[in-house]
A and B are shown apart, each in its own frame.
Chain A
Amino acid sequence: MLKVTNLTKQFSSGATKVVAVKKVGFKVPDGCFASIIGRSGSGKTTLLSLLGSLEKPDEGSIEVDGQDISKLSDHAQIKYRCQKIGFIFQGYNLIPNLTAIENVMLPMEFAGQPKQQREKRAKELLDQVGLTADQMQRKPGKLSGGQQQRVAIARALSNKPKLILADEPTGNLDSQTGDMIVKLLHGLAKSEDTTIIAVTHDLSISESTDKTFKIDDGVLKEV
Chain B
Amino acid sequence: MNVFSRGIRNAFRNTIRTTSIVVILGISIGLSLTMLLARQAVQQKISDIQSSVGNTISISPAGFSGFSSVNNSLTTSELSKVSSLPHVTNLVESLTDRLTTIGSTTSTFSFPGQSTSSTGQTSLTSPVTLNTSNRGSSGGGHFFVAGGGTLPTNFTPPVSITGTTDTATLDTTALTITSGKALDGTSDSNEAMISKSMASKNNLSVGSTFTAYGTTLTVSGIFTVSNEADAGTVVVSLPTEQGLSGQTGDVTSAVATVDSLSNLSSVTTAIKNTLGSSTADVTSSLTQANNTIAPLNSVKNISLFSLIGAVIAGAIIILLVMVMIVRERRREIGVLKAIGGSNLKIILQFITEAITLTILGAIIGLIIGVIGGTPVTKLLVNNSTSSTTTTSQFGGSGAVRTSGGGGGGGSFFATRLGGSNIVSGVKDIKAAAGWSILLYGFGAAIVIAVLGSTLAAGLIAKIRPAEVMRTE
Chain A residues within CB distance 8 Å of chain B: 45, 48-49, 52, 54-55, 75, 78-79, 81-83, 86-87, 89-91, 93, 95-98, 102, 105-107, 109-111, 155, 159, 167-168, 171
Please tell me which one of the listed residues B1, B342, B469 contacts residue A78 in the complex, with CB atoms under 8 A apart: B342
Q: How far is the CA of A118 from the CA of B204 in the complex (A)?
A: 98
Q: Would you call A55 and B466 a contact (CB within 8 A)?
A: yes
Q: Would you call B335 and A93 a contact (CB within 8 A)?
A: yes
Q: How far is the CA of A95 from the CA of B468 in the complex (A)?
A: 13
| Across-interface contacts of B332 in A (CB, < 8 A) | 93, 95-96
Q: Would you call B341 and A110 a contact (CB within 8 A)?
A: yes
Q: Would you call B339 and A82 a contact (CB within 8 A)?
A: yes
| Across-interface contacts of B338 in A (CB, < 8 A) | 52, 54, 81, 87
Q: Would you call B340 and A82 a contact (CB within 8 A)?
A: yes
Q: Would you call A109 and B9 a contact (CB within 8 A)?
A: no
Known interface pairs A97-B13, A109-B1; A91-B339 also in contact (CB < 8 Å): no
A–B complex contacts, Cβ < 8 Å, 21 sampled: A45-B469, A45-B472, A52-B338, A54-B465, A54-B469, A75-B342, A79-B340, A81-B340, A83-B340, A87-B335, A89-B468, A89-B472, A97-B9, A97-B10, A98-B6, A105-B1, A106-B336, A106-B339, A106-B341, A110-B342, A168-B472
Within the complex, what minimum Cβ distance (angstroms) separates A134 from chain B? 19
Quick check: is B2 within 8 A (CB to CB) of the other chain? yes
Q: Which of B1-30 contact A (CB under 8 A)?
A: 1-2, 6, 9-10, 13
Q: Which of B337-367 contact A (CB under 8 A)?
A: 337-342, 345
Quick check: is B464 within 8 A (CB to CB) of the other chain? yes
Q: Would you call A87 and B470 a contact (CB within 8 A)?
A: no
Quick check: is B331 within 8 A (CB to CB) of the other chain? yes
Q: How far is the CA of A55 from the CA of B337 in the complex (A)?
A: 12
Q: Would you call A87 and B339 a contact (CB within 8 A)?
A: yes
Q: Would you call A78 and B340 a contact (CB within 8 A)?
A: yes
Q: Would you call B335 and A95 a contact (CB within 8 A)?
A: yes
Please tell me which one of the listed residues A83, A107, A167 contacts residue B469 in the complex, with CB atoms under 8 A apart: A167
Within the complex, what minimum Cβ distance (angstroms) separates A159 from chain B? 7
| Across-interface contacts of A167 in B (CB, < 8 A) | 469, 472
Within the complex, what minimum Cβ distance (angstroms) separates A20 from chain B? 11
| Across-interface contacts of A111 in B (CB, < 8 A) | 340
Within the complex, what minimum Cβ distance (angstroms) separates B349 from chain A? 11
Within the complex, what minimum Cβ distance (angstroms) separates A12 from chain B? 15
Most A Cβ at <10 Å: residue of B10, B340, B468, B470: B340
Q: How far is the CA of A188 from the CA of B10 in the complex (A)?
A: 33
Within the complex, what minimum Cβ distance (angstroms) separates A137 from chain B? 13
Within the complex, what minimum Cβ distance (angstroms) separates B236 from chain A? 88
Q: How far is the CA of A83 from the CA of B342 in the complex (A)?
A: 13
> 7 smallest A-B Cβ distances: which pairs?
A82-B340, A110-B340, A54-B466, A93-B335, A49-B466, A107-B339, A90-B472
| Across-interface contacts of B1 in A (CB, < 8 A) | 98, 102, 105, 109
| Across-interface contacts of A109 in B (CB, < 8 A) | 1-2
| Across-interface contacts of B339 in A (CB, < 8 A) | 81-82, 86-87, 106-107, 110, 155
Given A45-B472, A106-B341; 16 other pairs, CB 8 A cutoff: A45-B469, A52-B338, A54-B464, A54-B465, A54-B466, A79-B340, A81-B340, A82-B339, A82-B340, A87-B339, A93-B335, A93-B468, A98-B1, A110-B340, A110-B342, A155-B339
| Across-interface contacts of A97 in B (CB, < 8 A) | 9-10, 13
| Across-interface contacts of B469 in A (CB, < 8 A) | 45, 48-49, 52, 54, 89, 167
| Across-interface contacts of B465 in A (CB, < 8 A) | 54, 81
| Across-interface contacts of B335 in A (CB, < 8 A) | 87, 89, 93, 95
Q: How far is the CA of A79 from the CA of B470 in the complex (A)?
A: 22
- Residue-by-residue, is B398-425 near A (CB-CB < 8 Å gives 1, otherwise 0)? 0000000000000000000000000000
| Across-interface contacts of B331 in A (CB, < 8 A) | 93
Tell me the nearest residue of chain B to A159, going by C-beta. B340
Most A Cβ at <10 Å: residue of B9, B468, B470: B468
Q: How far is the CA of A111 from the CA of B339 in the complex (A)?
A: 10
Tell me the nearest residue of chain A to B346, going by C-beta. A110
| Across-interface contacts of A110 in B (CB, < 8 A) | 339-342, 345
- Residue-by-residue, is B438-454 near A (CB-CB < 8 Å gives 1, otherwise 0)? 00000000000000000
Tell me the nearest residue of chain A to B341, going by C-beta. A110
Within the complex, what minimum Cβ distance (angstroms) separates A58 from chain B? 14
Q: How far is the CA of A129 from the CA of B104 in the complex (A)?
A: 110
Tell me the nearest residue of chain B to A49, going by C-beta. B466
Within the complex, what minimum Cβ distance (angstroms) separates A82 from chain B? 3
Within the complex, what minimum Cβ distance (angstroms) separates A43 from chain B? 12
Known interface pairs A97-B9, A98-B1; A107-B472 also in contact (CB < 8 Å): no
Within the complex, what minimum Cβ distance (angstroms) separates A166 from chain B? 11
| Across-interface contacts of B466 in A (CB, < 8 A) | 49, 54-55
Within the complex, what minimum Cβ distance (angstroms) separates A74 from chain B? 9
Tell me the nearest residue of chain B to A48, going by C-beta. B469
Q: Would you call A45 and B340 a contact (CB within 8 A)?
A: no
| Across-interface contacts of B6 in A (CB, < 8 A) | 98
| Across-interface contacts of A95 in B (CB, < 8 A) | 332, 335-336
Within the complex, what minimum Cβ distance (angstroms) separates B201 from chain A? 82
Q: How far is the CA of A159 from the CA of B331 in the complex (A)?
A: 22
Most A Cβ at <10 Å: residue of B335, B339, B465, B470: B339
Q: How far is the CA of A185 from the CA of B336 in the complex (A)?
A: 22
| Across-interface contacts of B468 in A (CB, < 8 A) | 89, 93
Within the complex, what minimum Cβ distance (angstroms) separates A77 from chain B? 10
| Across-interface contacts of A83 in B (CB, < 8 A) | 340
Q: How far is the CA of A81 from the CA of B466 in the complex (A)?
A: 12
Q: How far is the CA of A93 from the CA of B337 in the complex (A)?
A: 12
| Across-interface contacts of A45 in B (CB, < 8 A) | 469-470, 472
Tell me the nearest residue of chain B to A107, going by C-beta. B339
Tell me the nearest residue of chain A to B338, going by C-beta. A87
Within the complex, what minimum Cβ distance (angstroms) separates B156 from chain A? 83
Q: How far is the CA of A97 from the CA of B340 in the complex (A)?
A: 19
Q: How far is the CA of A102 from the CA of B339 in the complex (A)?
A: 14
